[in-house]
Structure 1
């Protein structure tokens, strides 16, 4: 495991009923980075106790347990607040279910350290395991996100393997009531872009595991697409209000 903990950048893993893949995810992240923080978002699958036990013997791992499920965005916000209290300036978020490439953590962190004012966004590279409906559907969200930011360069609005600057994202989330559930990822990048946080895209593979491989999915097509539709309706209204400022930034070269 890495022996030199970072004083500025932490890995943050929100986790809700991920199944045993979470242990592979945490171990892979810890092999390459310290500290790694897991926020257990009210899991009921028995993984909480084992994660807590892992943290007891590993000073580079911290596990926070929320008493009930609040949503991915809420779990990330909890982690952001803890990171701010501990003096961290950036967090890399990754899913707990093994879909995200832990081996790219050092590259993403290095890119962030060289450009600390930016957000480092994973741009997914899909393989044959990716459901076609999911691959095609995300193009709709990406098109809206790029329109809402006047094409600032968001490579993918939904892929949650990212490095965020802590304080800008905390201010965004504390300033309104949304961004607490599945719709967190696209709203985060759009609102940060509105605040002038530049996106830097880095290609990263994504792996979808079948159920017999230990894969767990909480995606609900109708519920989650309804959430995304409502989110983009709010964001488009905000985009119209901000359009003069966004146009001025584009024309002046500040975006």
Structure 2
């Protein structure tokens, strides 16, 4: 068994994920250690199985938030704890089984090869993906392209990523938002603005039907309105950031 990493850990935020959480944690542990789970105020008892597993496996840690704050809030809690423990990088993956555990090691290797970089997943969807989700992502991809004045973020919504801990912690201090569903696109853009290099790697993404144990807390009206407000804010801030971003792009190509 490979010794646990002292620098890179897998961070899994979870809210009412049901039995999928234990399956995801088990799959992640088979590929990497340590693995940390942040239980974000869950009320469905999904954390009981992983607590039992953590009591038997020192590679697994469970952190509990007393109330639900959203994905970004859960990641922020985990990042704060990871930084305090001396970890430099976290790979985030969803708790519901959409993200590929067998891609953890290649993503970690890419991070270890470029420690300053944000390693972003570019989702490869199967035929089961809902068309409204697929087309909706195209708008977010286009808006992110505008917000960073070009390429660099292939998919701002896909949460399978490796973050440099210090850079992500700083990004959280630049906004009071990015604590819910808007976390993934906002921090990707803000890290790019901050000068963090990006590496985009393909990774399969699967959508699980409810009959297969799939879990989704996405609310179409509420969360789409939140994304509209997010991109409105980012585009408005671009008005005074664009000279800095253009200088960065010129340096990268010179």
Note whether the superposition's TM-score is higher than 0.5. yes
For residue 129 of structure 1, report the CA deviation from its aligned partner. 1.2
Structure-2 residue corresponding to 1:84: 83
Which runs of at least 4 in structure 1 moved beyond 6 Å after TM superposition?
Answer: none
Separation in 2, partners of 1:132, 1:3? 40
Contact 1:22–1:97 (8 Å) recurs in 2:
yes
Contact 2:182–2:227 (8 Å) recurs in 1:
yes
For residue 223 of structure 1, report the CA deviation from its aligned partner. 0.6
Deviations 1:114-165 (A, max 9, x none): 0011111110000011110001001111111111001141110000000000
For residue 46 of structure 1, report the CA deviation from its aligned partner. 1.1
Root-mean-square deviation (Å): 1.1
Structure-1 residue corresponding to 2:64: 65
Structure-2 residue corresponding to 1:26: 25
Structure-1 residue corresponding to 2:183: 184
Deviations 1:186-211 (A, max 9, x none): 00110000011111111000011111
- How many correspondences in the alignment? 254
Q: Aligned in 2, Cα 1:254/1:166: closer, same or farther, shift over 3 Å?
A: farther
Q: TM-score, normalised by structure 1?
A: 0.97
Separation in 2, partners of 1:141, 1:178? 17
Three-state SS of the structure 2 residue aligned to 1:253 is: helix
Structure-2 residue corresponding to 1:164: 163
Separation in 1, partners of 2:251, 2:197? 15
Q: Aligned in 2, Cα 1:254/1:242: closer, same or farther, shift over 3 Å?
A: farther
Unaligned runs of 5+ in 2: none
What pairs with 1:1-255 in structure 2 (closer than 5 Å)? 2-253=1-252
Contact 1:152–1:193 (8 Å) recurs in 2:
no
Contact 1:11–1:34 (8 Å) recurs in 2:
yes
Contact 1:94–1:161 (8 Å) recurs in 2:
yes
For residue 9 of structure 1, report the CA deviation from its aligned partner. 0.2
